[in-house]
Amino acid sequence: MKRIVSLFLAVVLCAAMVAGSSVTANGCGFFRTVYFVKDRLFQGEPISIYYWGDMGMSGYEWPGTPMSYYGVNVYGEDVYKYELPNDVDIEGFIISDGNGVQTCDITDMNWSSVLVTVGDETNEWGHYSVNLKDIEGLDPLDPETVPEYHGVSRIVFENNRYDLPDAPDNHFEDPIYICCRSDEDQEVTLRAQMELFAPKEGHNVYRFTIPEGMKYYYVTDGKKRTEELSANGTEHFYLDGKRDENGDYSVIRYIAGCVLDPLILWDTSDTTFDRFSKAYANTTVKYPRYEELYTHRDAEGAADWVLFYTESDKMANGVFESVIGNRFVQHLTAFDAPFVSHYGLYDVAQDTFVTVDSSILSRYQGLAKVFDEVGTGRLFGDLDGDDCLSVIDVTIFRRCVALMCDYPEDDEVSGNDLYTFTRTHYFSDFNRDDVRDLIDATCMQRYLAEMPY
């Protein structure tokens, strides 16, 4: 009796579900629609779906049936659609790109219309996890439907549009940098130079690929910066010549999906950050912070070396101390990390990365002077404490030598051990001969005049 009642209730329930739903009956299941957000990893074609059920496999050979192109969402991502047949009780499905990239087995079928996005993990076979969102009655392209974006973001910055006035407030100076962070309350952890890939007179176009995990960014030339923007996939924007309440430059975005041809945008040579990411992707050391400080160019304008700062996730097991250029650098470090000084240099011609220390200064023209300007650490000859050298420092030093004023209280190098690195007991001793005299003032003047000293 109980079994008869149970069967009766099951039939009634199925009938009620069909009557109360706009979807087509599939036995006691549903006619299901799958939407797939094409991830950057799925680069092959066609995007296909392979499914199976209680009647066996789908009847199609792997990789299954091509999905139909549906449209572009607000993040510039392609969305595909497929309606599973209603003559089989589907137990699971797989989505692939026909080029060896696929999802794991998707067996959660408790939905009638689902949006599938690729997850961050892979199984033992290298198949990608997925995120499922039931979107019955919703448009998969609607901004409120699309899940928060977590992938890489391709940024295109158009400096000085043709159809806007050529004014200082509508133009940044080269080089252009991009600064990124992962959380609203976090400081910038990635600063890198954007690639100039479409140089035009008075109208340059730059690009950069923001890695996964970075949610916010702004563009700057070191003096001016844009408002902070969200990293939401493909983004193409330009300055509108206005500032917001914080003094940052506002931008105008192109409509999502209207970015320049991605095949033209992204098939050229790697940027320094791309090379860095690939070179150290498989090492045990991770780099949560990366900041490009300067790009040196040869006589023809081509980049020949790039100076950058980075921090690794390895525990500090010592103190790095050295004089680099005219700076005394001293900080905690991990001696087995590739960049023991935290500063690295990318040699473009040799396609190699080296640690920046005093031993490499003579190999790269201008590196010592550049490090004086953008590096960290105590700067020799900086008597007014503004972290740069100027005629004011020369004047103060001359007054100190003439006993007209006192040297700064922190002028003396503390501890005899540091003498090994500084070769002097005074930070005002510019030529580091351990004597404070007018020769130091002369050396500083020649340095400022970019003359040998």
Q: Do residue 279 and residue 223 come from a single domain? A: no
Give the pair of three-digit tokens for residue 194.
């954007």
262 confidence band (pLDDT: 50, 70, 90): very low
Distance between CA atoms of 173 and 204, rounded to whole angstroms?
10
Q: Do residue 112 and residue 202 come from a single domain? A: no
Residue pLDDT, tens place only, 112-171? 899 998 876 778 888 888 889 899 888 888 867 766 655 567 788 888 765 555 555 678
Give the pair of three-digit tokens for residue 267.
């098939």
Give the up-direction half-sphere exposure of residue 352: CA atoms within 13 A in the CB hemisphere: 4
Q: Do residue 354 and residue 412 come from a single domain? A: no
Number of independent structural domains in the chain: 4
Instruction: Please give the DSSP secondary-structure letter assigned to residue 120.
Output: E
**What's residue 280's pLDDT?**
79
Q: Do residue 278 and residue 309 come from a single domain? A: yes
Residue pLDDT, tens place only, 195-223? 887 666 666 888 888 887 788 899 999 88
Q: Whole domain around residue 178: which residue ranges? A: 153-265
**What's residue 35's pLDDT?**
95
Contact between residue 346 and residue 337 where contact means Cβ atoms under 8 Å apart: no
Distance between CA atoms of 157 and 208, rounded to whole angstroms?
9
Residue pLDDT, tens place only, 264-302? 333 345 678 888 887 777 677 778 888 888 888 888 878
Give the up-direction half-sphere exposure of residue 134: CA atoms within 13 A in the CB hemisphere: 6
Contact between residue 338 and residue 355 where contact means Cβ atoms under 8 Å apart: yes
Q: To which H or E segment does residue 52 belong?
A: strand 48-53
Bond from prior residue into 46 cis (ω within 30 degrees of 0): yes
Distance between CA atoms of 29 and 45, rounded to whole angstroms?
31
In this structure, is residue 97 part of a structural domain? yes
Q: Which of 211, 230, 265 is the last residue of a domain?
A: 265
11 confidence band (pLDDT: 50, 70, 90): very low
342 confidence band (pLDDT: 50, 70, 90): very high
pLDDT at 17 > cutoff 70: no
Distance between CA atoms of 155 and 273, rounded to whole angstroms?
14
Q: Do residue 258 and residue 196 come from a single domain? A: yes
pLDDT at 60 > cutoff 80: no
Specify the CATH number for the domain of residue 246: 2.60.40
DSSP secondary structure string for all residues of 226-258: BPPEE--S-EEEEEEEEE-TTSPEEEEEPPTT-
Mean pLDDT of the chain: 80
Distance between CA atoms of 345 and 349, rounded to whole angstroms?
12
Q: Do residue 287 and residue 240 come from a single domain? A: no
Q: What percent of the chain has pLDDT over 70?
A: 79
Between residues 357 and 144, the one the model is more confident about? 357
Distance between CA atoms of 252 and 434, rounded to whole angstroms?
57
DSSP secondary structure string for all residues of 263-317: HHHSSSPPPHHHHHHHHTTTSS---SEEEEEEEEE-TTS-EEEEEEEEE-SSPP-
Q: Residue ranges of the alpha helices (H) in 133-267?
A: 262-265
Contact between residue 192 and residue 276 where contact means Cβ atoms under 8 Å apart: no
402 confidence band (pLDDT: 50, 70, 90): very high
In this structure, is residue 22 part of a structural domain? yes
**What's residue 15's pLDDT?**
41
Between residues 415 and 426, the one the model is more confident about? 426
Quickly tell me which residue has 């400080």 as its tokens: 293
Distance between CA atoms of 8 and 446, rounded to whole angstroms?
99
Q: Do residue 210 and residue 171 come from a single domain? A: yes
Distance between CA atoms of 30 and 22, rounded to whole angstroms?
10
Q: What is the mean pLDDT of residues 314-333?
A: 87
Specify the CATH number for the domain of residue 429: 1.10.1330
In this structure, is residue 12 part of a structural domain? no
Strand 204-210 to 153-159 pairing: antiparallel
In this structure, is residue 9 part of a structural domain? no
Q: To which H or E segment does residue 13 belong?
A: helix 2-19
Q: Do residue 23 and residue 130 come from a single domain? A: yes
**What's residue 9's pLDDT?**
39
Distance between CA atoms of 214 and 188, rounded to whole angstroms?
10
Quickly tell me which residue has 């990893």 as its tokens: 41
Q: Which of 247, 265, 283 is the last residue of a domain?
A: 265
**What's residue 263's pLDDT?**
31
Between residues 167 and 90, the one the model is more confident about? 90
**What's residue 261's pLDDT?**
39
pLDDT at 235 > cutoff 60: yes
Q: Do residue 167 and residue 248 come from a single domain? A: yes
Q: Do residue 433 and residue 347 come from a single domain? A: no
**What's residue 401's pLDDT?**
95
pLDDT at 391 > cutoff 90: yes
Q: Do residue 353 and residue 389 come from a single domain? A: no
In this structure, is residue 148 part of a structural domain? no
In this structure, is residue 11 part of a structural domain? no
Maximal C-alpha separation, the chain: 113
- State which of 101-110, 177-186, 223-232 shows the largest mean pLDDT: 101-110
Q: Do residue 440 and residue 357 come from a single domain? A: no
**What's residue 387's pLDDT?**
92
pLDDT at 58 > cutoff 60: no
**What's residue 404's pLDDT?**
95
In this structure, is residue 32 part of a structural domain? yes
**What's residue 20's pLDDT?**
36
Residue among 442, 438, 276 nearest 353 (CA): 276
**What's residue 1's pLDDT?**
38
Specify the CATH number for the domain of residue 27: 2.60.40.10
In this structure, is residue 74 part of a structural domain? yes
pLDDT at 303 > cutoff 70: yes
Q: Which of 101, 134, 167 is the last residue of a domain?
A: 134
